[in-house]
Amino acid sequence: MSEVSQGTLPRRRSVRRSLFWRLLPSYLVVILVGAAASLLAGEGLAPMFLERHVNSMVRTMHNLTPAAIDEGMLIELSAGYRRALTAAQSWAALVSSVAATLVALFVTRRIVGPLRELTSVSRRIAGGRYQARLDAGVPGEIGDLVDAFNTMAGTLARSEHQRVALLADVSHEFRTPLSNLRGYIEGLEDGVFEPDAGTLQACHRQVDRLQRLVDDIGLLSLAESGQLALRPRRIDLLELIEQTHASFLARFARKGVGLVTSTPDPPLWVHADPERTLQVMTNLVDNALRHTPKGGRVVLTAGRAGVAAARVTVDDTGSGIPEGDVEHLFKRFFRGDRARRAVEGGGSGIGLTLVKEFVERQGGQVGVTRGSSGAGSEFWFTLPTAAGGDSQPPANA
């Protein structure tokens, strides 16, 4: 199979097409043109100037007329001058050509060398060796090109690492519910389980988990690619707090965890997409519920954060977050406590990533700190406030 069909760049081994052999003759051509012009000027103009100078000199020294000047002397003097001038110009052309050749060799190698290395490293990266880099010690514009190439190679390496990690994470996330479903189905086939409501409900939970995972992956893909349109408008943030509280009351009661809201007097106007903001609150409260044990409490708080922003916090009394996991919490599929994947049906591992994406696209910020009670964690996010009559979407919508 040829190199082109394998997806690699074709190798151009022809020396005549090399940039080195295109730059070197250009320097030599300049030297030759300069030398030829100097010779032509010396042969054509120098004798005329020499004759005028000799005539002037003879008149001054001997007070003679031009007719009395020895013609042989003038011819010999002119011929000698031409020979001397030609010899001097020839040596000058030879020395300048050698010097130009040496300079051309040095300059073209400084240019061609990094470009050849760039071609070699490009082929290695195209072959999957993303850690290959160019020497960053090259000066000038070639050095800028090298720096840009190394930056691009680093970005490709990170993207490839993320792609591989994403595929591994997705396959792992799908494997658990699929294995559970296979176990239930095989148990039904072998008569281990009865096809009663409990078994069907357990199968339904696994299907719901798969569906939630597929939906979250699709939603995150749309959001990160900028294809998910947000429709921000003037809304009362406290109404979304009440909706979130009402939708989670039954689940909190079943687990024995308290859900408390702490909000100012309504309204609290913000400029946001109501559907995506409600999803942000839902993801944060769901995350707090899954990590808060029975007898614990989750507090959902809203209020102003300065003049131009509103802040929502979800404070739980759960197990907290290890110090080393904080910076990774909002990355896709990251869950520090892997032992809890099956608790409460397990999360998709994308919920907090969606929270960050939706909040920041609406002009807000998101973060996490240690819980106010000294245990657990406190997730928070901000949104820009809206004026009383403001109904225009923000510029980044």
Segment 203-207 shows an average pLDDT of 86
Model confidence at 21, in pLDDT bands (50, 70, 90)?
low
pLDDT value, residue 170: 76
How many domains, in total, are found in the chain? Answer: 3
Average pLDDT over residues 109-117: 77
- Do 263 and 372 lie in one domain? The reply is yes
CB 69 within 8 A of CB 51: no
> Do 283 and 359 lie in a common domain?
yes
Same domain, 288 and 359: yes
First to last CA, the chain: 50
Q: How far apart are CA 277 and CA 256, in angstroms?
A: 26
- Of 267, 368, 383, the residue nearest 320 (C-alpha): 368
* Single pTM value for the model: 0.55
Which range (9-13, 101-105, 257-261, 285-289) has the least confidence?
9-13
200 and 277, same domain (yes or no)? no
The answer to whether the CB of 333 falls within 8 A of the CB of 169 is: yes
Q: Answer yes or no: do 263 and 364 share one domain.
A: yes
Looking at residue 172, its pLDDT comes to: 75
Q: Are residues 270 and 338 in the same domain?
A: yes
Q: How far, in Å, CA of 197 to CA of 319, rounded?
A: 34
**Domain termination site, one of 108, 129, 150:** 129
Count of alpha carbons within 13 angstroms of residue 251, beta-carbon side: 16
Q: How far apart are CA 315 and CA 69, in angstroms?
A: 115
CATH code of the domain containing 175: 1.10.287.130
For residues 209 and 113, membership in a common domain is answered with: no
User: Quick check: 391 pLDDT over 60?
Assistant: no
Inside any domain, residue 53: yes
DSSP code of residue 376: S
Distance CA(235)–CA(269), nearest Å, equals: 6
Residue 50 — very low, low, confident or very high, per pLDDT cuts 50/70/90? low
Q: Are residues 170 and 302 in the same domain?
A: no
Residues 219 and 260 placed together within one structural domain of the fold = no
Domain that holds residue 195: 166-224
Measured distance CA(201)–CA(207) in Å, rounded:
10
Alpha carbons 364 and 380: distance in angstroms, whole number: 10
Q: Which pLDDT band, with edges at 50, 70 and 90, does 5 fall under?
A: very low
**180 and 271 part of one domain:** no
User: What are the C-alpha distances in Å from 36 to residues 47, 103, 301, 323?
Assistant: 17, 20, 88, 77
**Does one domain contain both 82 and 214?**
no
The answer to whether residue 52 scores a pLDDT higher than 70 is no
Residue 90 domain flag = yes
Is residue 269 a part of any domain in this protein?
Answer: yes
pLDDT at 139: 67
Structure tokens at 331: 């990355």
Is position 195 within any domain? yes
Q: 22 and 116 in one domain?
A: yes
Please give the backbone phi and psi of residue 216, each rounded to the nearest 5 degrees, phi first: -65, -40
The residue whose two tokens read 């899954």 is 290
Spatial separation of the C-alpha atoms in residues 351 and 173, rounded to whole Å: 14
pLDDT, tens only, 266-304 = 789 999 999 999 999 998 998 899 889 999 999 999 999
